[in-house]
Amino acid sequence: MKRRTVLRAAGVALTLPFFESLVPRPLRAQAVAGPRRFLPIYLPNGAHEFWRPPSAGRGDAWQLSSILEPFGAALKPKLTVVSNLENASVFSADAVYLENSHGRLGGAWLTCVDAKAVRAALGLEEANGVSVDQVMAAHAAFKGISPLDSLQLGLSTPLGNCDAEPCSSSRSVSWASATQPLYKVVDPLEVFNQLVSVAGPADATSTSGIEAQKRYARNQSVLDAVLENAQRIRKRLGSGDRPRMDEFLDSVRAVERKATGVSNGMGRAGCLAMPQDLGSVDVSGAPRQNTEAYDKGAHADAMNELIALAFQCDLTRIISLMLEDERSEFTYDHVKLRTFTDAQTGSVEKDSGATCSEYHAAQHEAAGDDFATITWWNVGKVAELCQSLDAIEESPGVSVLDNTVVFLGACMHGSNHNGDQLPVALVGGGNLGLAGDQHVVLEARPLRDLYFTLLNDVFGLGIDDFGQNVKGAPPAKLAELLKT
């Protein structure tokens, strides 16, 4: 009884006006400090060679590559392409190629840790390091600042091959702890429900409505029984099983906060508008290609719209998005094949009307334009998302995109499965200190240096270390990315 009273009081206290009270203290001097956001976007299976812009430099010295062409002239000033980052030094001092490359490199993409070594050290069948987005989400600058500390989304179809690794390595890029992969939500309707559940009703008076209070009370009574029984069983479990039970208890408590009206009441629902046709994206059948019920383009569009909504309404500041699971075998027969000749002249749709093949097979087919076209299509969906984020003005002359670091990358180079020369593009973040409009070509540097730079020099979190490097080099700043 006491607990409920306290929580309800907290719910009232959390009814805050939009934005003003929620903007974190400026961590660096900024002209206009807005919310700082991070949006890592995972491109599976590497990128086609024509990703890399032919020339390096800033401004007019570099041009968009054929694959990155969808970003267009409007976003080029906010785009940074980084070449020669590698994540192989997490695993090996010399080899850039390793097997099982999809699963292992995928698992290390945001963690820069060898999951296999963590599993061996902990004696577990599923483990990894904490991912960079979750290091941020757990930091005081983000934790509890917005209704959701982070969100994990995906457009994948869950039938890919996991490359003999635990599937969490291929299907989750965000890890909250060594043992907690954060599974992404792929159903747009579910994402919307999640956003609504934390946004709270637009009309604050309805939270105190009798019906709402009754609903909360019913939920509370159900979850009280669930928690009570789980705790009773927990006492009878050996220490080996308790972490699993604790994970269950934590999940119930998180749902409890929303189902009993504690975490909502921020009154932002007025900001949320149901995107069009959300419910018509049917992801339930584990589609492997477009069907009558499933349209990948519509799926991507709906998710893009939800991401823009979540940011615009400040429901979360950290979202990881997987365009597909690693080693995706989705058949891209909804995309017309294009002819790519080189990295600079762009591409044109083929007259034949032929469509793209299966993603993973295409990755391995060095000849043919399937891989390039699929990469291009996925980049196009990211570009559209960036365009919509850039179209939302947050303060005079500053868009949501300017307050967001969009990081588009892959865990492997391309058709060769190597863990070096990773495709990396940063979009936006101009208001957070990213210089933009450049193609930075590094002497091979570890991927964790990018994260280290983002954590400390862009988000100002004061993190000493991140990830592993078997060569022993400490993490270092990539000053090239920053405004001087």
Site for other proteins in 254-293 (CB under 8 A): 254-255, 258-259, 283-286, 288-289, 291
Site residues (CB under 8 A) for other proteins, limited to 314-353 = 329, 331, 333
How far does CA 418 lie from the centroid of its chain?
22
Residue 248 as a binder of other proteins (CB under 8 A): the answer is yes
412: left (phi over 0), alpha (psi -120 to 50) or beta: beta
Distance (Å, whole) CA 358 – CA 151: 29
Among 28, 143, 214, 471, binds other proteins (CB under 8 A): 214
| C-alpha distance from residue 376 to each of 366, 379, 387, 389 (Å) | 15, 5, 16, 20
Distance (Å, whole) CA 320 – CA 155: 11
- Residue number with CB closer to other proteins (46 or 475): 46
Site residues (CB under 8 A) for other proteins, limited to 383-442 = 415-418
Site residues (CB under 8 A) for other proteins, limited to 154-213 = 157-159, 161-162, 164, 166-168, 179-183, 185-187, 190, 194
- Residue number with CB closer to other proteins (28 or 244): 244
Residue 365 as a binder of other proteins (CB under 8 A): the answer is yes
Q: Which residues pair with 81 in a beta bridge?
A: 425, 439
Residue 240 as a binder of other proteins (CB under 8 A): the answer is yes
- Residue number with CB closer to other proteins (222 or 391): 222
- Residue number with CB closer to other proteins (181 or 430): 181
**124, amino acid identity:** L
Asked whether 188 and 302 are in contact (CB, 8 A), the reply is: yes
Give the interface segment with other proteins, choosing from 75-83, 119-127, 130-138, 388-396 (CB under 8 A): 119-127
Q: Any idea which residue has 């927990």 for tokens?
A: 234
Among 202, 233, 274, 348, binds other proteins (CB under 8 A): 233
Give the interface segment with other proteins, choosing from 7-15, 221-229, 303-311, 396-404 (CB under 8 A): 221-229
Q: How far is the CB of 355 from other proteins (least distance, A)?
A: 6
**170, amino acid identity:** S
Q: How far is the CB of 326 from other proteins (least distance, A)?
A: 13
Residue 483 as a binder of other proteins (CB under 8 A): the answer is no
Q: Any idea which residue has 């306290």 for tokens?
A: 6
Give the interface segment with other proteins, choosing from 16-24, 233-241, 268-276, 427-435 (CB under 8 A): 233-241
- Residue number with CB closer to other proteins (51 or 459): 51
Q: Please spell the DSSP secondary structure of 369-392, one letter per residue.
A: SHHHHHHHHHHHHHHHHHHHHHTS
Distance (Å, whole) CA 248 – CA 418: 37
| Alpha helix stretches (DSSP H) within 86-209 | 101-108, 115-122, 132-137, 168-171, 188-199
Residue 126 as a binder of other proteins (CB under 8 A): the answer is yes
How far does CA 178 lie from the centroid of its chain?
18
Q: Please spell the DSSP secondary structure of 343-362, one letter per residue.
A: SSS-EEE-TT--B--BHHHH
Site residues (CB under 8 A) for other proteins, limited to 14-73 = none
Residue 245 as a binder of other proteins (CB under 8 A): the answer is yes
- Residue number with CB closer to other proteins (110 or 440): 110
Distance (Å, whole) CA 204 – CA 349: 52
Residue 474 token pair? 């400490």
231: left (phi over 0), alpha (psi -120 to 50) or beta: alpha
Q: How far apart are the first and last CA of the chain?
A: 56
Among 16, 217, 274, 473, binds other proteins (CB under 8 A): 217
- Residue number with CB closer to other proteins (36 or 317): 317
- Residue number with CB closer to other proteins (24 or 368): 368
- Residue number with CB closer to other proteins (394 or 420): 420
Give the interface segment with other proteins, choosing from 218-226, 384-392, 428-436, 464-472 (CB under 8 A): 218-226
